[in-house]
Amino acid sequence: MYLRIIISTIMLLDMQALIKKISFAALTLTSLVSCGQGQSASKIEKMENNAKKMTGLETATFGTGCFWCTEAVYQEMKGVESVVSGYAGGHVPNPTYEQVCAKTTGHAECVELKYDPKVVSYAELLEVFFRVHDPTTKDRQGNDIGPQYRSVIFYHNEAQKNLAEKAIKELNASGAYAKPIVTEVAQAPTFYKAEAYHQNYFANNPDQGYCAFVVAPKVDKFRKVFKEKLKP
């Protein structure tokens, strides 16, 4: 299953570094680019509310770089009922975005998923995880550089740990990547929900510059590769 993964980075790197550092309010580059829309904010809100009433959901926590990208992809995946952006793996309680960006707290930008194992398996979540980012670059995704952008799988039980380690072993053995995978596999620590403006970021800001140049291509790529896993 994992052998189908081929990393194809579609980013305008020089623009990416510049865009993310500009204030969020100023990033409205609609005249420069038109991007695909993700799940609507109202649809996501309905999904999140429904998830609170559901039973039998399991939890997965992944870091693939900027959590705006990770969140937008998994929100479109069938069986994923809730996606929350936040911080995990550091040593400072309740960190702020500014503290995490300062690279002093040890946290990674992550998403915490609630998924229905009767609809989607953890192995399928892992397949998407390895497909939507480059797990061979330490503390970096494109021009997003720092420990907060590290590739990480925080497992919640031994079964998740074993599946994650098996996937990495198989991918390295297959030669799917030119370099060894550096994804960290660690027991899930305390997860701190990020600030409200980070939640459902792509859905709420589809024309913002970083979303248009970086997030949208990843979402479009996910839709093409995993058509059968998309929500209706």
Q: Is 69 known to be catalytic?
A: no
- Phi and psi angles of residue 109, each rounded to the nearest 5 degrees, phi first: -70, 125
Is 154 within 8 Å of 62 (Cβ atoms)? yes
**Residue 184 φ then ψ, to 5°:** -80, 135
The two structure tokens encoding residue 227? 């058509």
209/6 Cα distance (integer angstroms): 26
Strand ranges (DSSP E) for the chain?
58-64, 80-88, 108-115, 140-141, 144-145, 151-155, 184-187, 192-193
Q: Are 31 and 207 in contact (CB under 8 A)?
A: no
| Catalytic-labelled residue, pool 66, 69, 110, 211 | 66
CA–CA separation, 192 and 197 (whole Å): 14
Angstrom distance (rounded) from CA 166 to CA 168: 5
Hey, which residues are catalytic here? 66
